[in-house]
């Protein structure tokens, strides 16, 4: 109430309504009531006066009647007197009830009497004419007593008969009819002759108002100058006025009540009207403060409630529009900033869902390939989809809502949305193609203006998308070289910084290859700029194709940089790796380039700088690589050069090794040794493994673990591999000729060999050359490479298997393949790696692994060979686990072919136990 009254006071409307009420209701009531009171008063007084007048008249007439009676009696007496013999016989008070109090007979001739009388009668008393026969007139003496006067003629003497009416007879009972009123009689001289008793004192009050009076003239027509008496009556104030006062009081009370009722009703009305207005104005204030959520609550059941509801829906709409405006502004702002597709996706999923009040948003963004889309959904992980043109067209329904059933979505799309949902979907176009599709999902069909909002949202997003695309193009222009399409020096600078940071974390080494085309200027001069451009484009393409773990940038006219992160960390490894890369780059460029039917030959000089060995700083690395490139040019072009001395010498050393290897291959510096494989069932040799050795002219025997990686790194493995197979086949033929019953010769096959498409052909050729068969050999392939690369070369292996060659997995256990993964590959044997065998007698884990591996392999139909068995304890375990065969120093080191032949009949078990 307090709040309400304060708001009442504040409200001008309330005050105005109240004033209006006062003017239109209170004032008339008051005017009316006062007029009515006045009217009633005057009516009342008029009534009263009339009544008084009537009383006065009655009183007067009654008096007149009595006077007439007196006059008649007086006339009788006069006649008696005149007829009497002697005047002296005239008797005064003779009646029993005397009408007259005093009787005087005055002789007109007897002056004394008259004189005596004159003292009693006023001087202007006119004697009535004697003998006129008229009854006497009325005369009032000094005591204000009326007298009846008659002239008596007795004989010759004239007399005046004066009769004073008895007071009681004249006045008594006159006012009995109108008790409570006061009657007064005045003569013409306004002398009071009589006044009746009154129960009130008319003099004390305001006579005119409270005590109304009335007068009546009583004509006593005896003489020509008629005396006129006046009857005056004063009202019965108490009795009559009381009812008037009562009426007035009641009237005032009713007026007051009416006024109060009026005020009450007006307040109620004002309150009823003020409250909704107050609520509405509060609501408007909230809207002004941008609070759209809170609704106005008016339950008046009239137009105000209608107004409130309209206001609420307007407020909701306005809120939505404001929110939309905010979101759209947000989008526009993002467009102005650097916007990338990821931001837009984020925006659509979060803002869009809120803005469109959707249960879920699905946003399809077109990929690089036609009709491929990545679907980002507020509900699940992004998925890649291919969507046909037909389906795309069917998704375009701006400004409309469709049920999922209506749309008949293909299964890959219908999986995204819930059944029975409603969908808004619109395609965003760019240059005529669908660049994205926005799909908003609803459980209940949304309102029309939401759909309109969705349309404008889609428009904004479309602009944002094309803008982002434009940004991308700008970025590309700024960061990519127009001629070759390669990233330019700016992007290179960026990437180098990032790569350095990454290397710092991963401890990897980073190599910078600065590649400069030799004699580019002269090519340009000789063949023209178009040819130069063509050459650069071709070189760029070839370099980029070689990137592998690196990326190629065009940093100047004919200058390229390859940024490459090394796999190895040791300097030797880095040298081999980077040397190989540089060699590849060089070789690629050397291939002739076709230009308008001519062949252009070119070469490059390459400078290499290594992070962090050469420098920690990006600019220095580039500078150093550049310097190294100049040195390569100075050394005669078409070569590569390391910046740092230490790498240079390593490379020289490495180069030496490579040169030596080539020499070794050509000069027959390799030999094969053979290590027996002992069958644990028989205790005899079941075959052997060929193991290569390099008989270096200066360094003596070099282990394959040392030179095989070099051979592989320098692409010499295929040559060497062929040499091994051919040598083994040749040996087999020799043993056959010598009558040595040697089992299969196991040959280690590098993955480089198998990848070569001519592998099968080569093998077949050597078999043919030495008249060997498939079952003379076993090929050992390292687990990891075999499993990973199998599919690319399986045809050759299956062909070989058909010939009778068996395949074994070498170093089993060092990779990560489970046995079951090997199940579908052409494999006959697994060779358990030496690292497991080493600990088999001491470490329970190793022994458990070996035991279960053997069991599992056997269950799969594979035979098992254990490698590197050195002790009888290890052998005992392997026997216990029923391993098929073993290989190791316990029985024999790798030995020459001749030495091996002598072991053919050895019973190794006896020998082993005898050790």
Helices (H), 137-206: 167-171
Query: In whole angstroms, what separates CA 84 from the centre of its chain?
Result: 140
∠ at Cα 389 (386, 392), nearest 5°? Answer: 80
703 binds ligand C2E (CB under 6 A): yes
Q: Binder to ligand C2E among 748, 756, 796, 808 (CB under 6 A)?
A: 748
- Segment contacting ligand C2E (CB under 6 A): 432-440, 761-769, 846-854, 867-875? 867-875
Under rule CB under 6 A, which residues in 313-352 are in contact with ligand C2E?
Answer: none
Residue with tokens 């082993």: 912
Member of 371, 708, 856, 895 binding ligand C2E (CB under 6 A): 708
Applying CB under 6 A, the site for ligand C2E has a residue count of 22
Instruction: Say if residues 156 and 178 touch (Cβ distance below 8 Å).
Output: no
Nearest CA among 248, 253, 304, 256 for reference residue 276: 304
Using CA atoms, how far apart are residues 688 and 903, in angstroms rounded to an integer?
A: 11
Q: Which does 708 bind (CB under 5 to 8 A by kind): ligand C2E, Ca ion, none?
A: ligand C2E
Cα separation, 214 vs 852, in Å, equals 148
DSSP codes of every residue in 153-171: EETTEEEEEEEEE-HHHHH
Piece of the chain touching Ca ion by CB under 5 A; list 231-239, 541-549, 800-808, 864-872: 864-872
Residue 748-767 contact track with Ca ion, rule CB under 5 A, x = bound: x-------------------
DSSP string, 319-368: HHHHHHHHHHHHHHHHHHS---HHHHHHHIIIIIHHHTT-SEEEEEEE-S
Least separation, in Å, of the C-beta of 752 and ligand C2E?
9
DSSP 448-466: HHHHHHHHHHHHHHHHHHH
| Given 435, 484, 750, 756, the residue binding ligand C2E (CB under 6 A) | 750
Q: How far is the CB of 829 from ligand C2E (least distance, A)?
A: 13
Per DSSP bridges, beta strands 700-702 and 685-696 are: antiparallel
Residue 115: Cβ-neighbour burial (10 angstroms; 0-12, 13-18, 19+): exposed
Piece of the chain touching Ca ion by CB under 5 A; list 207-215, 722-730, 774-782, 844-852: 774-782
Q: How far is the CB of 780 from ligand C2E (least distance, A)?
A: 6
Nearest of 125, 112, 138 to residue 228 by alpha carbon: 138
Cβ atoms of residues 624 and 609 within 8 Å? yes
Which range touches Ca ion (CB under 5 A), out of 203-211, 733-741, 777-785, 812-820? 777-785
Of 691, 857, 866, 885, which one interacts with ligand C2E (CB under 6 A)?
A: 691
* Of residues 412, 390, 52, 485, the one with CA closest to residue 235: 52
Residues 884-903 that bind ligand C2E (CB under 6 A): 887-889, 894
Q: Which does 692 bind (CB under 5 to 8 A by kind): Ca ion, ligand C2E, none?
A: ligand C2E
Nearer to ligand C2E, 664 or 724 (CB): 724
Nearer to ligand C2E, 184 or 675 (CB): 675
Residue 811 in contact with Ca ion, rule: CB under 5 A: yes
Q: Which residue has 């009537």 as its token pair?
A: 54
Map tokens 């037909």 to a residue. Answer: 390
- 235, 211 Cβ separation under 8 angstroms: yes
**3-class DSSP assignment, residue 637:** coil
Asked if residue 704 binds ligand C2E (CB under 6 A), the reply is yes
Q: Shortest distance, CB of residue 798 to ligand C2E, whole angstroms?
A: 21
Q: Which stretch binds ligand C2E (CB under 6 A): 214-222, 447-455, 686-694, 896-904?
A: 686-694
Show Cβ contacts of residue 277 under 8 Å, excluding neighbours closer than 6 positions.
11, 13, 304
The reply to whether 568 sits near ligand C2E by the rule CB under 6 A is: no
Q: What are phi and psi of 715, to 5 degrees?
A: 70, 20
Q: Per-residue contact track with ligand C2E, 591 to 630, x per CB under 6 A?
A: ----------------------------------------
Smallest distance from the beta carbon of 693 to ligand C2E, in angstroms? 7
- Considering only residues 711 through 730, tell me which ones interact with ligand C2E, judged by CB under 6 A: 724
Binder among 465, 499, 621, 692 for ligand C2E (CB under 6 A) = 692
Asked whether position 868 contacts ligand C2E by CB under 6 A, the answer is: yes
Q: Find the part of the chain contacting ligand C2E (CB under 6 A) among 79-87, 157-165, 697-705, 822-830.
A: 697-705
Closer to ligand C2E by Cβ: residue 11 or 750 = 750
Report the residue from 278, 558, 780, 884 that binds Ca ion according to the rule CB under 5 A: 780
Q: What angle, rounded to 10 degrees, do the helices at 717-738 and 759-769 form? A: 30
CA distance 690 to 778: 10
Q: Which of residues 836-865 bind ligand C2E (CB under 6 A)?
A: none
Rounded CA-CA distance 443/419 in Å is 9
- Using the rule CB under 5 A, is 810 a contact of Ca ion? yes
Output the smallest distance, CB 727 to ligand C2E, in A.
Answer: 9
Q: Are β-strands 744-748 and 777-782 bridged in parallel, bridged antiparallel, or unpaired? A: parallel
Euclidean distance between CA atoms 659 and 653, whole angstroms: 10
Q: Provide the binding-site residues for ligand C2E, judged by CB under 6 A.
A: 675, 690-692, 703-705, 708, 724, 748, 750, 780, 810-811, 867-870, 887-889, 894
* Interface positions with Ca ion (CB under 5 A): 748, 780, 810-811, 867
């Amino acid at each position: 109430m307090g709040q309400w009254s304060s708001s009442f006071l504040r409200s001008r409307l309330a005050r105005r309504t109240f004033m209006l009420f006062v003017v239109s209701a209170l004032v008339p009531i008051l005017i009316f009531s006062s007029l009515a009171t006045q009217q009633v008063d005057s009516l009342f007084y008029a009534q009263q006066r009339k009544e008084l007048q009537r009383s006065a008249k009655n009183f007067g007439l009654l008096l007149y009647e009595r006077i007439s009676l007196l006059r008649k009696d007086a006339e009788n007496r006069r006649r008696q007197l005149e007829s009497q013999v002697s005047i002296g016989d005239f008797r005064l008070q003779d009646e029993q009830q005397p009408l007259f109090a005093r009787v005087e007979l005055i002789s007109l001739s007897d002056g004394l009497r008259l004189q005596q009388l004159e003292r009693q009668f006023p001087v202007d008393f006119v004697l009535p004419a004697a003998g006129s026969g008229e009854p006497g007139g009325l005369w009032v003496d000094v005591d204000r007593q009326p007298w009846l006067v008659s002239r008596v003629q007795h004989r010759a003497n004239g007399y005046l008969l004066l009769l004073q009416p008895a007071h009681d007879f004249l006045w008594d009972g006159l006012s009995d009819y109108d008790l409570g009123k006061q009657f007064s009689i005045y003569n013409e001289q306004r002398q009071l002759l009589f006044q009746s008793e009154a129960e009130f004192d008319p003099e004390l009050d305001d006579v005119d108002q409270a005590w109304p009076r009335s007068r009546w003239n009583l004509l006593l027509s005896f003489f020509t100058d008629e005396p006129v008496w006046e009857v005056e009556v004063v009202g019965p104030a108490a009795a009559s006025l009381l009812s008037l006062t009562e009426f007035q009081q009641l009237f005032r009370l009713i007026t007051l009540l009416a006024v109060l009722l009026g005020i009450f009703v007006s307040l109620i009305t004002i309150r009823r009207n003020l409250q909704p207005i107050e609520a509405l104005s509060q609501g408007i204030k909230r809207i002004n403060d941008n609070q759209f959520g809170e609704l106005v609550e008016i339950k008046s059941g009239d137009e105000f409630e209608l107004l409130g509801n309209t206001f609420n829906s307007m407020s909701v709409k306005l809120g939505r529009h404001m929110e939309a405006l905010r979101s759209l502004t947000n989008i526009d702002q993002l467009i102005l900033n650097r916007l990338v597709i990821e931001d837009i996706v984020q925006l659509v999923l979060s803002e869009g869902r809120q803005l469109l009040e959707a249960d879920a948003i699905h946003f399809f963004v077109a990929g690089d390939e036609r009709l491929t889309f990545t679907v980002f959904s507020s509900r699940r992980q992004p998925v890649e989809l291919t969507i046909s043109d037909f389906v795309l067209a069917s998704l375009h329904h701006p400004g409309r809502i469709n049920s999922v059933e209506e749309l008949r979505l293909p299964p890959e799309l219908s999986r995204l949305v819930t059944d029975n949902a409603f969908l808004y979907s619109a395609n965003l176009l760019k240059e005529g193609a669908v660049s994205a599709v926005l799909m908003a999902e609803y459980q209940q069909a949304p309102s029309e203006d939401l759909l309109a909002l969705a349309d404008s949202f889609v428009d904004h997003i479309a602009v944002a998308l094309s803008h982002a695309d434009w940004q991308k193009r700008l970025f590309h222009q700024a960061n990519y070289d127009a001629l070759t399409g390669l990233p330019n020096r700016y992007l290179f600078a960026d990437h180098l910084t990032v790569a350095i940071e990454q290397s710092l974390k991963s401890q990897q080494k980073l190599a910078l290859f600065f590649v400069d085309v030799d004699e580019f200027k002269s090519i340009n001069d000789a063949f023209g700029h178009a040819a130069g451009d063509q050459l650069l484009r071709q070189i760029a393409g070839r370099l980029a194709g070689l990137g592998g773990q690196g990326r190629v940038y065009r940093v100047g006219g004919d200058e390229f940089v390859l940024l490459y992160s090394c796999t190895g960390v040791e300097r030797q490894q880095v040298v081999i790796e980077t040397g190989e890369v540089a060699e590849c780059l060089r070789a690629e460029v050397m291939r002739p380039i076709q230009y308008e039917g001519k062949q252009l030959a070119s070469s490059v000089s390459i400078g290499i700088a290594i992070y962090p060995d050469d420098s920690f700083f990006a600019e220095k690395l580039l500078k150093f690589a550049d310097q190294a490139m100049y040195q390569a040019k100075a050394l005669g072009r078409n070569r590569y050069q390391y910046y740092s001395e230490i790498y240079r010498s390593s490379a020289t050393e490495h180069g030496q090794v490579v040169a030596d290897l080539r020499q070794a291959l050509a000069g027959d510096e390799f030999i094969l040794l053979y290590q027996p494989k002992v069958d644990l069932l028989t205790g005899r040799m079941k075959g052997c493994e060929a193991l290569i050795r390099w008989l270096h002219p200066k360094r003596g025997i070099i282990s394959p673990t040392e030179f095989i990686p070099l051979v592989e790194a320098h692409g010499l493995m295929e040559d060497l591999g062929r040499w091994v197979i051919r040598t083994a086949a040749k040996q087999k033929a020799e043993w056959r000729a010598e009558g040595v019953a040697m089992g299969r010769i196991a040959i280690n096959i590098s993955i480089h060999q198998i990848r070569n498409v001519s592998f099968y052909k080569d093998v077949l050729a050597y078999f043919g050359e030495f008249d060997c068969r498939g079952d003379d050999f076993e090929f050992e392939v390292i687990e990891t490479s075999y499993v990973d690369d199998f599919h690319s070369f399986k045809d050759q292996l299956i062909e070989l298997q058909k010939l009778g060659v068996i395949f074994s997995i070498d170093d089993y256990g060092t990779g990560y393949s489970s046995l079951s993964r090997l199940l579908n590959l052409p494999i006959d044997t697994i060779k358990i790696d030496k690292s497991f065998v080493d600990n088999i007698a001491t470490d329970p884990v190793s022994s458990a692994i070996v035991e279960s591996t053997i069991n599992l392999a056997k269950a799969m139909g594979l035979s098992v060979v254990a490698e590197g068995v050195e002790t009888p304890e290890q052998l005992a375990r392997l026997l216990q686990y029923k391993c098929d065969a073993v290989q190791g120093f316990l029985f024999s080191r790798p030995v020459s072919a001749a030495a091996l032949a002598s072991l053919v009949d050895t019973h190794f078990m006896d020998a082993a136990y005898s050790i």
